[in-house]
Homo-oligomer: A and B are copies of this chain.
Amino acid sequence: MESEPKKLLLRALAGERTERPPIWLMRQAGRYLPEYHLTRAEAGGMLELCNSPEHAVEVTLQPIRRFGFDAAILFADLPQIAAALGQALEYKEGEGPVLSPPIRSAADVARLSLAGLHQELAPIYETVRRLTVALPPDVALIGYAGAPWTVATYMVEGRGGGPTDHAAIKQWALSDPEGFQPLIDLLTEAIAQFLEKQIEAGAEAIQLFESWAGILPEPFFELWCARPVAAIVKALRAKYPATPIIAFPRGAGLQYDGYVEATGVDGIGLDSTVPLAWAADKVQARLRRCVQGNLDNQLLVAGGAAMHAEADRILAALGHGPFIFNLGHGILKTTPPEHVEALVRQVQSWRA
């Protein structure tokens, strides 16, 4: 009996120059899809949706059915791990996730605990297990978590949505790095365990979202973005060396340079500002790692010739691989689904 051919996304993450790039899009399951709203309403709300494997599987599958993406990403919400550590999580209309009380001191950190982690996150593991059965055989399943610094911003600011100047976390972290470090250490351990369980449940690749990589001066970026991600990569590699890991340090700027080496990730997500020549020369050619990105999400809203021209530019520069086509940030809720359809068709018909 022949072994199954390896999925396109996993081949790209293994450093292979695939005949065409696989494509998936951050937030591909979400508010721009009418069927998502129906399922969310049926579940009774955001948290209910995330904690109901039946509904979470359904919304994960919706964009796969509609567009034929090459990968599905587990539907769950980034702040759920904060709730699993003991912070109260609720969703307020128009505000997004609210975490209370905010974590602002060593005493607050000491009240958090790993003890209930896996019990709280059990519905997520069940969602992953069901997805391994429900997904088409050529679609890879990506598990995910927020990276420690990004989850910490949610926990300290007390909210996960909307714009913020991150005054609370920066005041604490920058003025008392030693006092703040235990929160990062706790999150590093929790996230590594969370991802291990996702892999055990059937996740074939992992993405770490570092949405707030762009707000730290260099020494603190190294301390709280690069190092904890390196520790998580090391922990996962020790147990599951075959599972590739993508990190997406959005807004890292010049600190993108050195991040792959510092963390050891298999793939790096590029935000929309990253010059393609840097990614091709440095990451693909020199480091021989996979890059993922980086169409501007407003161009997916715009659609048409402007979108196709930018997608072409990205494909021409990076499409020879190893490469995964994606956006430079999550899909916006204003995105017309037919633009997604057209983009997927463009990428999937392109040849290296």
Binding site for B on A (CB under 8 A): 162-163, 165-167, 170-171, 174-177, 214-219, 221, 251-257, 271-276, 278, 294, 296, 298-299, 301-302, 304, 306, 310, 313, 328, 332, 334
Closest 3 CB pairs of A and B: A163-B163, A253-B253, A175-B302
Residues of chain B with a CB closer than 8 A to A302's CB: 171, 174-175
Residues of chain B with a CB closer than 8 A to A174's CB: 296, 298-299, 302, 306, 310
A214 and B251: CB pair below 8 A? Answer: yes
B276 and A218: CB pair below 8 A? Answer: yes
Shortest Cβ distance from residue A257 to the other chain B in the assembled complex, whole angstroms: 7
A304 and B274: CB pair below 8 A? Answer: no
- Copies of this polypeptide in the complex: 2
A-B contact pairs, 29 of them (CB 8 A): A165-B332, A166-B298, A167-B301, A167-B332, A170-B296, A170-B298, A171-B298, A171-B302, A174-B296, A174-B298, A174-B306, A174-B310, A175-B302, A175-B304, A216-B273, A217-B272, A217-B328, A218-B273, A219-B310, A221-B273, A251-B251, A251-B253, A252-B273, A253-B273, A253-B274, A254-B257, A254-B275, A255-B273, A255-B275
Residues of chain B with a CB closer than 8 A to A276's CB: 218
Shortest Cβ distance from residue A5 to the other chain B in the assembled complex, whole angstroms: 34
